[in-house]
Amino acid sequence: MSKFTSLHEFIMDRQAEFPFASGELSRLLNDIALASKIVSRDVRRAGLVDHILGAQGETNIQGEDQQKLDVVADEQFIKMFQFGGEVCGIASEENDDFMAFENEEAKNGKYVVLFDPLDGSSNIDVNVSIGTIFSIYRRISPDGTKATLADMLQKGTRQVAAGYVLYGSSTMLVYSTGHGVNGFTLDPSIGEFCLSHPAMKMPETSRLYSMNEGNIDICHQGIQDYIKYCQGEEKETGRPYSGRYIGSLVADFHRSLIKGGIYIYPAVPSAPKGKLRLLYECNPLAMIAEQAGGIATTGYERIMEVEPTELHQRVPYIVGSKKMVQQVLDLIQKADLK
C-alpha cells in the first residue's frame, strides 16, 4: 500500500518543471482546484435547489440560454482569479468581452486564463456530466499594466497549462503543464483531489466514435465517409464501432482520453465555422490530447496552430486517438481531391 498523493502535493513536487518556476503557476493551479471544489458542491446540490435549476432567462453572446449554474460557476472562477494575485485578466465563454482586472491583487498578475465555466450546460437539468475547461497563458503585455485583447488572442501552442474538471459520477481534475497529463479524483469525504490517473496516455485507437449524428448528412464528405466506415461491418477490425455521444464535450473527451476514441464537431450550415470555441474549449483540450499522444485538428490545421482573431472564435473540431484522427484526415483529403 502506498500513501496517496494530493493535488496540492503533486503541484508542489512538480513546480521545478514549470516555465519560470516562481510558484505563481502553482498557486494559480491550486486556486483553480479550490474554485472547482466549490462549483462541484454547487453542481451536486443543483437538483435539490429549485432556484438554481433552469434557464436564467438571459442569453449569452452566442445566443444560447444561460443556465443559472453557468453564471454561478463563471462568478466563482472569476472571483478566484481576480483576487488570487496571479491573474491580470480573463476571458470566459459566458462574457461578451474579456476582463482586465484593476484591483490591487491582480495588478502584478503574470497570467491570463481563458475558460468555459460550465461545459455541457444543457445537460444540467437532466443530471448528466458537465465540466469546466481552462487554458492558461503568460501575458504578453508588460507586467503592471492592464491586460489587453492581445493577451487573450494567443495561439494554443503558447499555453503554459490547460485542463478540465469533470463533474461526473465523481469529480475529476485533469491537467497538463506540458509535461504529460495527470488526473486527480476528488475524495469528497476529505475534500482533496487525489492522484488517481498518473501519466495519462490516450490509446492509439479504439472502437468508439463520438459525433452528433444529426449532422451526418450536412457535414464534410470526408467525415461522412469516416462515420460510414465506423458503422460498416468487418469481422477482422471489429466493426461496426460503437457510437457514444453525451453532448458534454468534456465528458466525451474524457472517455476518449481513457478508453480511446474520436470526437468530431464538424462545420455545418447552421455553424459554418463549427460550434466549439477555439479559446475556451478546443485549445485546452487539444493540449491535453497532444500531451497524451492524441491529435486535435480542424481537418486542415493543427488546432493549437490556429491564429485566434476574436475571443469567441469557433472552429471545426476533430480530437482523439492518433490513428483514428489520422484516418479522418486522410478521408477529408481524399474527398477534397474528387
Return residues touching ligand AHG (CB under 6 A): 64, 93, 116, 119-122, 212, 247-249, 275
Please list every residue from 108 through 127 that binds Mn ion, using CB under 5 A.
116, 118-119
Binds 247, which of ligand AHG, Mn ion, none (CB < 5 to 8 A, cut-off by type)? ligand AHG
**Residue with C-alpha cell 460550465?**
118
Query: Smallest distance from the beta carbon of 117 to Mn ion, in angstroms?
Result: 6
**Which of these ranges, 9-17, 28-36, 90-98, 323-331, lies near Mn ion under the rule CB under 5 A?**
90-98
Query: Smallest distance from the beta carbon of 192 to ligand AHG, in angstroms?
Result: 27
Binds 290, which of ligand AHG, Mn ion, none (CB < 5 to 8 A, cut-off by type)? none
**What kind and span of H or E run contains 197?**
strand 192-197
Q: Nearer to ligand AHG by C-beta: 83 or 245?
A: 245
**What kind and span of H or E run contains 101?**
none
Query: Smallest distance from the beta carbon of 103 to Mn ion, in angstroms?
Result: 25
Q: Nearer to ligand AHG by C-beta: 248 or 283?
A: 248
Burial label, 217 (beta-carbon count in 10 A; 0-12, 13-18, 19+): exposed
Q: Residues 193, 33: contact at Cβ < 8 Å?
A: yes
Residue 48 makes CB contacts below 8 A (sequence gap 6+) with: none
Q: Rule CB under 5 A: is residue 74 a binding residue for Mn ion?
A: no
Three-state DSSP at 69 gives: helix
Binds 318, which of ligand AHG, Mn ion, none (CB < 5 to 8 A, cut-off by type)? none
- What is the DSSP track for 128-158? --EEEEEEEEE--SPTTS---HHHHS--GGG
Q: Nearer to ligand AHG by C-beta: 95 or 122?
A: 122
Amino acid in position 132: T
